[in-house]
């Protein structure tokens, strides 16, 4: 298991337990997908033939959304609820993480709603929708960094071994 840097507790990198490491490891393929989504989004902005690229973007967004939703559910349903008893839910790191989940999912869901409600997309529509995905990407990259640098090391320090074992059981695919 790799260490996560966190100055929060003042004692250098923290080696994460298996359940937390599973969550960290899920970030790499999500980041890779975000780069792919951004690439398609940029092509839509600058290429003449937007419709073909936009169809590729739609397929990638749908697949990404499924993977992101699974990952977010693991955090919200298991990790966040375990941490709440130690740090509370309102106004602290959990509230920020949940808000960022809502923001990112909101952009993605708006994209999906837009393509369902308007089958024929103008060039401007495609660019506008691609920008929704770029917004989600920026939020998520910052979000993943916060989790890896602050939230997960905090959880490692706060959770009991029994809780860590339960988290591992709950987040394993």
Tens digits of per-residue pLDDT, 139-172? 999 999 999 999 999 999 999 999 999 999 999 9
The answer to whether the CB of 67 falls within 8 A of the CB of 160 is no
Eight-state DSSP code of residue 10: S
d(CA 41, CA 7): 36
Asked if pLDDT for residue 119 goes beyond 80, the answer is no
- Reported as a single tens digit per residue, the pLDDT across 78-105 is 999 999 999 998 888 999 999 999 999 9
Residue 28 in tokens? 């790499």
Residue 117 in tokens? 């409600």
The pTM (predicted TM-score) of the whole model is 0.90
Give the model's pLDDT for residue 127.
Answer: 96
Beta bridge partners of 4: 14
The answer to whether the CB of 93 falls within 8 A of the CB of 79 is no
- Reported as a single tens digit per residue, the pLDDT across 4-46 is 544 445 556 889 999 999 999 999 999 999 999 999 999 998 8
First and final C-alpha spacing in the chain: 18
Q: Is 3 helix (H, G, I), strand (E, B) or coil?
A: strand
The alpha carbon dihedral of 74, 77, 78, 84 has a sign of positive
* Helical spans, DSSP H, in the chain: 18-46, 50-74, 80-87, 93-117, 123-146, 152-158, 161-171
């Amino acid at each position: 298991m790799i260490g996560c840097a966190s100055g929060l507790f003042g004692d250098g990198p923290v080696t994460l337990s298996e359940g937390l490491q599973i969550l960290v490891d899920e970030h790499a393929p999500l980041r890779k997908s975000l780069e792919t989504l951004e690439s398609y989004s940029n092509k839509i902005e600058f290429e003449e033939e937007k419709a073909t690229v936009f169809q590729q973007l739609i397929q990638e967004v749908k697949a990404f959304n499924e993977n992101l939703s699974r990952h977010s559910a693991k955090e919200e349903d298991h990790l966040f609820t375990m941490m709440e008893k130690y740090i509370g839910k309102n106004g602290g790191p959990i509230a920020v993480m949940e808000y960022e989940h809502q923001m990112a999912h909101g952009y993605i869901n708006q994209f999906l709603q837009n393509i369902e409600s308007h089958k024929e997309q103008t060039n401007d529509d495609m660019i506008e929708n691609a920008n929704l995905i770029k917004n989600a990407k920026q939020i998520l990259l910052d979000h993943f960094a916060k989790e890896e640098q602050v939230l997960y090391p905090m959880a490692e320090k706060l959770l009991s071994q029994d809780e860590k074992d339960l988290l591992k059981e709950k987040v394993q695919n």
